[in-house]
Amino acid sequence: MTLAEMPFILPDLRPASAELFVLAMACLILFVDLFVKDTRRTAVFALTQLTLVGAAVVTWAGTSGEVVYTFSNMYVHDFLADMLKQLLYLTDIIVLFYARAYVVDRPLLGRGEFYTLTLFATLGMMVMISANHFITIFLGVELLSLSLYAMVALNRDSATAAEAAMKYLVLGALASGLMLYGMSMIYGAVGSLEIGEVAERLQAGVANHSILVLGLVFLVAGLAFKLGVVPFHMWIPDVYHGAPTAVGLFIGTAPKLAAFAIVLRILANGLLTLSYDWQMMLLIMAVLSIVLGNVAAIAQHNFKRMLAYSAIAHMGFMLLGLAVGVVGGDARFTLNAYSSALFYVVIYVLSSAGAFGMILLMARAGFEAEDLDDYKGLNRRNPWFAAMLMMLMLSMAGIPFFVGFFAKFAVLQAVVASGQIWLAVVAVIFSLIGAFYYLRVVKLMYFDAPADPTPIQAPLEVKALISANGLAVALLGLFPDTLMWFCLLAIRLSLSVFA
């Protein structure tokens, strides 16, 4: 067989055009950055934002309700992927605007690499979102993680940042190892790594169940690390706290969307037959996360650490939705449960972006505004921002008529529908405990005297954006149904159970 005889068919590249576009632009920006003399890197910033907008346009142009596979079924293009990618671009754009002033003030951060690494991380998340094969999932996770490790360490003069990066790297490698080991076990039992095929062979019942479950445990552990749920959560507080706030903002938002996507694709699309086993694991981790996250957050004095524990609790809450999709082998509740979880994660990303955005807004050159005490008397320094942060906190606490309430409600009704009332009760009790630390922020802002009465200065676009972000949680509370409808649609059109 000579080279000319080898069968080579060019794969259909159209479904993946957004990924290709982002990759090309990232390389271009890497190159352009060499010739930019401006220390503010305005050109690089603008190009990055344009890339994200362009990617949104490309994705939008390719959106259809159909499920299309390409690259030998390693890549899947469906409505869920399109929706998550659009949310991802949006989150990125918001993140970069928030981070802009912060990184410009800090020369080590504000280099071209900050923007290119963001794009590469975004590419990694896009790969994860569209993955239909264990290998692509793993590579996407690695692409994302490697970029994030570097971003955390970018401020190399900071010892805490370096320490955080090191911890993140080592534990991330451990988690990758676990995930990879789990994948290899499943491959050994099933003989395939393609998600659809795995599902088919499991359905046919040819595999050794114990080995599958063993692989599953490792796989779920790896996924749980990415989501940051107990007991695989230890990196979250240290990384959120140690990383530069701009990077913490990025880590705390967009990757949750991608992690949700791979969890859904692996567990719900690939291993639904094993739902009994993984649902139990998810339930245990969910309850532990809700309990530990909410209780530990109370003891925090650092706003970033508090948000880190709140993230753990929120991800636990989201897992509840994923853990009640199948009841006694009956998949009737799947649509409702998974769309509630999707809704929850989207709302979480939105609120979390706003809260981190507030920290960035308050920070100045040489001042980080990350202690809770820095928020004392914010109402007197700037009533508008205090109101915005209050709305974000109330939404995160799940106070009615802010969108966070509906997110919690959606998940809880899914839990109740599955018949596990005790679970809903536990979740509600610990959400109430959690409300304490959110409301404490509100109390600090409104009832305490400011330590530093200077008014707050921030660029216009950040002010506008934070206002939009704060108002969004209030407005979405009035009009949550459209987003909920999109979530339902995404799950129904994209999950193989409904095909």
Partner 1 sequence: MDFKSVVFYLFSAVLVFASLRVITARNPVRAVLYLVLAFVSGGGIWMLLEAEFLAITLVLVYVGAVMVLFLFVVMLLDINLDRLREGFWSYLPLGATVGALMALEMGVVIGGSYFDLFENRVPALVTDSNVKEIGRLIYTDYVYPFEVASVILLVGIVAAIALTGRQRRQTKAMDPAQQVLVKASDRVRLVSMPSEKLEDSVPQAGE
Partner 2 sequence: MDLKSLSLVAVFAPLAGALVAGLFCRVIARSVAHTAAIAGVATAFVAALLAFREVAGGARFNGTVYQWLTTGDYAFEVGFLIDPLTVSMMLVVTFVSLMVHIYTIGYMRDDPGYNRFFSYISLFTFSMLMLVMSNNFMQLFFGWEAVGLVSYLLIGFWYTRPTAIFANLKAFLVNRVGDFGFLLGIGLVLAYFGTLDYAAVFARVPALVGETIPLFGADVAAVSVITAICILLFIGAMGKSAQVPLHVWLPDSMEGPTPISALIHAATMVTAGIFMVARMSPLFELSDTALSFIVIIGAITALFMGFLGIIQNDIKRVVAYSTLSQLGYMTVALGVSAYPVAIFHLTTHAFFKALLFLAAGSVIMAMHHDQDIRRMGGLARYLPVTWITSLIGSLALIGTPLFAGFYSKDSIIEAVEASSIPGAGLAYGALLIGVFVTAFYSFRMFFLVFHGKERFGAASHGAGGHAAHDEHASHDEHQGLPPGEKPHESPWVVTLPLILLAIPSLLIGYVAIEPMLFGGWFADAILIDEVAHPGMRELAEHFHGAAAMALHGLSSAPFWLASSGVALAWFLYLRRPDLPAVWQARLGPLNTVLENKYYFDRFYETVFAGGARLLGRGFWQGGDVRVIDGFINGSARFVGWAAAVLRFLQSGRIYHYAFTMIFGLLVLMTLTLWVGRA
- Distance (Å, rounded) from C-alpha 185 to C-alpha 214? 7
Amino acid sitting at position 8: F
Interacting residue with partner 1 among 25, 83, 84, 143 (CB under 8 A):
143
- Distance (Å, rounded) from C-alpha 176 to C-alpha 428? 33
Residue among 263 and 285 whose Cβ is closer to partner 2: 285
Interacting residue with partner 1 among 139, 174, 284, 433 (CB under 8 A):
139
- Distance (Å, rounded) from C-alpha 124 to C-alpha 226? 13
Name which of partner 1, partner 2, none residue 140 binds, using a CB cut-off of 5 to 8 Å depending on partner kind: partner 1
> How far from each other are the two terminal CA atoms of the chain, in whole angstroms?
41
Name which of partner 2, partner 1, none residue 426 binds, using a CB cut-off of 5 to 8 Å depending on partner kind: none
Name which of partner 1, partner 2, none residue 87 binds, using a CB cut-off of 5 to 8 Å depending on partner kind: none
Provide CB contacts within 8 A for 301, sequence distance 6+. 371, 372, 373
**In whole angstroms, how close is the CB of 390 to partner 2 at the nearest point?**
16
Other beta carbons within 10 Å of 38: 9
Q: Which stretch binds partner 1 (CB under 8 A): 44-52, 146-154, 268-276, 398-406?
A: 146-154
The helix (run of H) or strand (run of E) holding residue 495 is: none
Q: Which two tokens stand for residue 128?
A: 């994860």
- Helix ranges restricted to H, 112-244: 112-129, 134-153, 159-190, 195-204, 209-227, 235-242
Name which of partner 2, partner 1, none residue 35 binds, using a CB cut-off of 5 to 8 Å depending on partner kind: none
Q: Does 168 engage in binding with partner 1 (CB under 8 A)?
A: no
Q: Does 202 engage in binding with partner 1 (CB under 8 A)?
A: no
Query: Interface with partner 2 by CB under 8 A: which residues?
Result: 166-167, 170-171, 174-175, 178, 210, 213-214, 216-218, 220-221, 225, 230-232, 234-235, 237-238, 276-277, 280-281, 284-285, 295-296, 298-299, 336, 340, 343, 406, 409-410, 413-414, 417, 478-481, 484-485
- Distance (Å, rounded) from C-alpha 429 to C-alpha 440? 18
What are the backbone dihedrals phi and psi of residue 157, each rounded to the nearest 5 degrees, phi first?
A: -80, -15
Q: Does 154 engage in binding with partner 1 (CB under 8 A)?
A: yes
Q: Does 75 engage in binding with partner 1 (CB under 8 A)?
A: yes
**In whole angstroms, how close is the CB of 14 to partner 1 at the nearest point?**
14
Interacting residue with partner 1 among 166, 174, 214, 399 (CB under 8 A):
214
Other beta carbons within 10 Å of 49: 17
Look at residue 392 and give its three-state secondary structure: helix
Q: For the chain, what's the residue count?
A: 499
Residues of this chain that interact with partner 1 (CB under 8 A) are 1, 6-9, 11, 16, 23, 27, 30, 71-72, 74-75, 111, 113, 116-117, 120, 123, 127, 133, 135-136, 139-140, 142-143, 146-147, 149-150, 153-154, 156, 188-189, 191, 208, 210-211, 213-214
